[in-house]
Amino acid sequence: VNWDLNEDQRMVRDMVREFVDAEIVPHAGEWDQEARFPEEVFRELGELGLFGMNVPEEYGGAGLDGISSCLVLEELARGDASTCVAISVTNSVFCAPILMYGTEEQKQRWLVPCASGEWLGAFSLSEPDVGSDAGALRAVAERHGDEYVLNGSKAWVTSGEVCGALVVFALTDPEAKRGRISGFIVPRDTEGVVVIPKEHKMGIRSSPTNQISFEDCRVPVSQRLGAEGQGLEIALRSLDGGRAGIAAQAVGIAQAALEASLGYVQEREAFGRPIGLFEGLQGRLVQMAAEIRAARCLYLRAAALRASGQPDTTAASEAKLFASEMANRATYEAVQIHGGYGYVADYPVERLYRDARVTTIYEGTSEIQRLVIARTLLSPDA
Ligand SMILES: Cc1cc2nc3c(=O)[nH]c(=O)nc-3n(C[C@H](O)[C@H](O)[C@H](O)COP(=O)(O)OP(=O)(O)OC[C@H]3O[C@@H](n4cnc5c(N)ncnc54)[C@H](O)[C@@H]3O)c2cc1C
């Protein structure tokens, strides 16, 4: 096993780390308080090539490998988990499915502007009544000649109100046992796409999350992604890739909580000495650091397997499960280490604690990750 990052991977990580420290860390608290999507920073992130990190250079992308893009997501989340999730969704569940299943024309039309930083992408699978059980979705896409007509309500669309286009999933054959669902690429400004004002969330507050209603929305057949009936496969395959990214996001949040705590324990005094000298707190910091490193290894393994074309479903679920649960433990500890100051917005750990919470929920809850992992554990050739 070679644990060393190569020179390119280190260079990309360090470049983004520098950007995050200068442009994101100082403002993340204010964006969170105002629940404001920081357009100005996204313009710069787009110029840095972070909207199309794994998109090949021939489509204007950065052409990075999967390990580098996860390292970038960790660094972004260390600064601001909201910023990270918009970049993660654009790369993992908008660009990636188009790269894997799109026609040459679709790649030219949708990947080129996204990769050049013109707009963010979104992914619309969940519905108000359907989340974990993705196959039970209800939105329909009825074929009329050269078009599909989309109708139905979608929920929880990250970047719904700020994206340029969405990958949307709907039923094309509601009666079929398999192959009921198809994927579509839909620009947000298409007639019949109605974006509902954003949710008021506990955390990742500067990332807008919207319900979207499709009302007789006409989409040409040329915007269907993959074959008719291939939608569930496309959605699940994309989510496998996304999960390593969410694991990286969780590691970034936890790393920020650790760094804030290491600083605090050296400044704060109690009983006449810095609180960092108390063994009780040292033990907590050591546990956080060890678990962060373990979670990082897990997401790097999942990303490496995917990059080499090996099966990565279980590895991605293990990484997402462990990293997201770990980020919740680490941010809880960070609040505790800060005492009363951990409970107010003057210190970043209050935001990190709220931001970590969603990582065990989106892109598959912890319970769903356990189901996925159990399948491998219980299969005879596991
Ligand atoms: C901030 C945010 C952003 C999101 N962004 C997106 C997005 O961009 N695109 C998108 O499509 N979706 C998005 N989602 C939706 C997210 O993926 C779902 O919330 C998630 O998949 C869970 O679905 P649900 O909320 O319907 O919960 P449910 O599926 O109703 O689950 C409720 C509870 O039941 C448990 N449960 C369900 N089935 C089982 C089972 N078989 N065994 C054991 N336990 C089970 C779950 O783990 C959970 O604890 C987002 C969600 C949030 C909160």
Q: Is 137 near ligand 1, meaning CB less than 6 Å away?
A: no
Task: Read off the pLDDT of each residue in 119-133 and give the average, rounded to a whole number.
Answer: 97
Say how far apart CA 111 and CA 281 lie, in whole Å.
Answer: 48
Task: Read off the pLDDT of each residue in 85-100 and give the average, rounded to a whole number.
Answer: 97
Say how far apart CA 127 and CA 137 lie, in whole Å.
Answer: 7
Q: What is the pLDDT of residue 177?
A: 86
Q: Is 236 near ligand 1, meaning CB less than 6 Å away?
A: no
pLDDT digits (tens, 9 = 90+) for 323-354: 999 999 999 999 999 999 999 999 999 999 99
E-assigned strand segments in the chain: 120-124, 140-144, 147-158, 163-171, 181-187, 193-195, 209-220, 224-225, 269-270, 273-274
Task: Read off the pLDDT of each residue in 186-198 and give the average, rounded to a whole number.
Answer: 97
Q: Which residue's C-alpha comes closest to atom 17 of ligand 1?
A: 362
Confidence of residue 49 (pLDDT cuts 50, 70, 90): very high
Pocket test for ligand 1, best of 362, 366, 369 (most atoms within 8 A of CB): 362
Q: Is 169 near ligand 1, meaning CB less than 6 Å away?
A: no
Nearest CA among 232, 105, 70, 73 for reference residue 167: 232
Question: Would you call 75 a catalytic residue per the annotation?
Answer: no
pLDDT digits (tens, 9 = 90+) for 201-239: 999 999 999 999 999 999 999 999 999 999 999 999 999
- Scored b (16 or more CB within 10 A) or e, 200-226 reads ebebbbbbbbbbbbbeebebeeebbbb
Answering whether pTM is above 0.95, one says: yes
Q: Is 367 near ligand 1, meaning CB less than 6 Å away?
A: yes
pLDDT at 79 over 90: yes
Task: Read off the pLDDT of each residue in 118-125 and give the average, rounded to a whole number.
Answer: 97
Q: How crowded is residue 348: how many other Cβ atoms within 10 Å of its Cβ?
A: 22
| Cα distances (angstroms) measured from residue 55 to each of 59, 63, 80, 112, 342 | 7, 5, 23, 9, 40
The DSSP bridge partners found for residue 214 are 152, 193
Q: Are 253 and 72 in contact (CB under 8 A)?
A: no
Angle at 206 between CA 203 and CA 212, to 5 degrees: 90
Q: Is 358 near ligand 1, meaning CB less than 6 Å away?
A: yes
Q: Is 49 near ligand 1, meaning CB less than 6 Å away?
A: no
Q: How far is the CA of 381 from the centre of ligand 1 (A)?
A: 30
Catalytic residue among 142, 259, 363, 367: 363
Structure tokens at 314: 């279980």
Percentage with pLDDT > 90 across the chain: 95
CB-based contacts of 125, cutoff 8 Å, min separation 6: 134, 137, 154, 169, 235
Q: How far is the CA of 351 from the centre of ligand 1 (A)?
A: 22
Q: Letter for the amino acid at 369?
A: Q
E-assigned strand segments in 44-144: 120-124, 140-144
Q: What is the pLDDT of residue 382?
A: 57
Q: Which residue's C-alpha comes closest to atom 7 of ligand 1?
A: 157
pLDDT digits (tens, 9 = 90+) for 273-299: 999 999 999 999 999 999 999 999 999
- Alpha-carbon radius of gyration of the chain: 21
Residue 310: HSE in the Cβ half-sphere, 13 Å Cα cutoff = 9
Q: What is the pLDDT of residue 380?
A: 57
Percentage with pLDDT > 70 across the chain: 99
